[in-house]
A and B are shown apart, each in its own frame.
Chain A
Amino acid sequence: MMNEHEKVSILLVDDQPGKLLSYEVILKELGENLLMARSAREALDHLLKTDVAVVLMDVSMPEIDGFELADMIRQHPRFQRTAIIFISAVHLTDIDQLKAYQRGAVDYISVPIVPELLRAKVSIFADLHRKTRQMEQLNAELRKLSARLIATQDEERRRIARDLHDSVGQVIVALSMNNGIALTEVSNVNSVAADALRENEQLIQQLSTDIRTISHLLHPPLLDEIGLLPAIKMFADGFAERSKVNVSVELSPDIGRLSPHMEISAFRIVQECLTNVYRHSESKTAFINLSVDEGKVLVVEVRDEGRGMSPGSIVPKTRDNTGSGVGVSGMRERVRELGGTLAIESNGSGTSVIARFPISAAAVIRV
């Protein structure tokens, strides 16, 4: 991880060793890593081998055309934004300066070089580069952390749902069975006991429903045992009933079992989208479509006909935390982690969310 004091590399290009030496002398006190190149070829070699923060070169060198070298550097996708400082002995007219900038030159300095000025210009770009690298590394770490967080959350919910089923759930079943048996004798007990038994039946059903609801919100039943399609169908049915939104579901039958990671991610995206439809869209209908594109890409689409999301207010986090994740950014993270893409289109006549996941040949198992 690049910290604040790590050295960056500065590439000095000139075909005259004397000039190179003078740049070196001026820039040495910056304490960065100085690389020397005496030809265009050496310069490109260095660039390919090392992460260069800024390139310093003269516009008019006897054997190297500075502008041409800059062009070559800029054409390489990796170096399109590498900072280049041109040194110009000739008094550049405005047109020449423009030419320099068109080639992606970032700055230029005129001769005779004022050492403090050169050091100042170089160190600005060196610092910029350092900060950029730092930010990239931090971003990568952040992404890894958030992926781990999502996975942990999924796993924990799955475990709790399973525990609910295996412990609490089975006790409720036993309770229900026993009460059923007791109820067969209800005519043989006094009326107070009879009422209690009947009320028990209601309470047990209520308990059972409540536990089932909690469990379903935590982890989709059927997903692990059977797969994505029945899990989504079941969720959509339950959602339609709870929300009174008309849900139409199209699930392509050639979607077999996928990796558990992909299955839970696809499910969570559908869950999150439907939650948004209910909470924000005011749409009376929703469409869920799952299909496979050329056997290689799982396409998950959820559409509604509501009032759309305004860019600024995309899914405010809810207080009661009954959402399945952290909204749109959670969805993006899930998709990105699996190497997929997420496309959201939203306007006054509805919203469409399309997630595409690449499926590796090993992951698709025809049932």
Chain B
Amino acid sequence: MPIRLLIVDDSELVRKGLRNILRAKPDWEVCGEASDGLDAIAMFKSLSPDVTIMDFQMPGVNGLDAAAKILQIDPMAKIVLFTQHASPALEKHALDVGIRIVVSKTDTSKMVGQIAALLVPKSPEP
């Protein structure tokens, strides 16, 4: 069963780049794309993706607020925050919202690995 990803970014260029990068994993499939926070929430509800890659700075509802809303709908949702402004301050705030992974947009080589780590199910206690 392929891993289904929802990608959210207001830039078509970036979404295209993301699709290309994600092709590296044949068992991953981009199941939907959104270009703003409100669409992201709606698509999450209808598609129930395994992972959401969420851009931070978007017009209207920003990625953090959209992510917070999604986590209210599904507290177990796996969300990766994606941003040009990665910083410890943002990471801390994202953590407060419930997002454990913040990826810098110019460091996407790490992203595939970080998402893969997110997907590893926690091993049950012996």
Given contacts A174-B14, A230-B92, contact A205 B20 (CB under 8 A): no
Q: Which of A172, A204, A208, A230 has the most CB of B within 10 A?
A: A230
Complex CA gap A184/B90 in Å reads 30
Contact of A181 among B20, B88, B93 (CB under 8 A): B20
A132 within 8 A of B: no
Complex CA gap A128/B12 in Å reads 67
Complex CA gap A170/B18 in Å reads 12
Query: Among A88-96, A105-113, A218-226, A285-293, which stretch is in contact with chain B?
Result: A218-226
Measured between beta carbons, the chain B residues less than 8 angstroms from A230 are 89-90, 92-93
A233 within 8 A of B: yes
Asked whether, in the complex, the Cβ of B14 is within 8 Å of the Cβ of A226, the reply is no
Interface size class of A (residues with CB under 8 A): 20 to 34
Given contacts A222-B89, A225-B56, contact A169 B84 (CB under 8 A): yes
Contact of B14 among A170, A231, A233, A238 (CB under 8 A): A170
Asked whether, in the complex, the Cβ of A221 is within 8 Å of the Cβ of B85, the reply is yes
Asked whether, in the complex, the Cβ of A166 is within 8 Å of the Cβ of B87, the reply is no
Asked whether, in the complex, the Cβ of A177 is within 8 Å of the Cβ of B18, the reply is yes
Interface size class of B (residues with CB under 8 A): 20 to 34
A234 within 8 A of B: yes
Asked whether, in the complex, the Cβ of A177 is within 8 Å of the Cβ of B89, the reply is no
B29 within 8 A of A: no
Complex CA gap A166/B92 in Å reads 24
Contact of B13 among A170, A180, A233 (CB under 8 A): A170
Residue of A nearest to B104 (CB): A208
Measured between beta carbons, the chain A residues less than 8 angstroms from B88 are 234, 237
B21 within 8 A of A: yes
Given contacts A180-B109, A184-B24, A226-B64, contact A173 B14 (CB under 8 A): yes
Can you give 30 contacting A-B residue pairs, CB < 8 Å?
Answer: A165-B57, A166-B10, A166-B11, A169-B105, A170-B13, A171-B13, A172-B106, A173-B17, A173-B105, A173-B106, A176-B17, A176-B105, A176-B108, A178-B17, A178-B20, A180-B21, A181-B20, A184-B24, A208-B106, A212-B84, A221-B90, A225-B64, A226-B64, A230-B89, A230-B90, A234-B87, A234-B88, A237-B87, A237-B88, A237-B89
Point out residues on B near A: beta carbons under 8 Å: 10-11, 13-14, 16-18, 20-21, 24, 56-57, 62, 64-65, 84-85, 87-90, 92-93, 105-106, 108-109
Given contacts A177-B20, A233-B89, 5 further A-B contacts (CB under 8 A): A166-B11, A225-B62, A233-B92, A234-B89, A237-B88
- A-B pairs, 5 with minimum CB distance: A177-B17, A234-B89, A170-B11, A221-B85, A233-B89
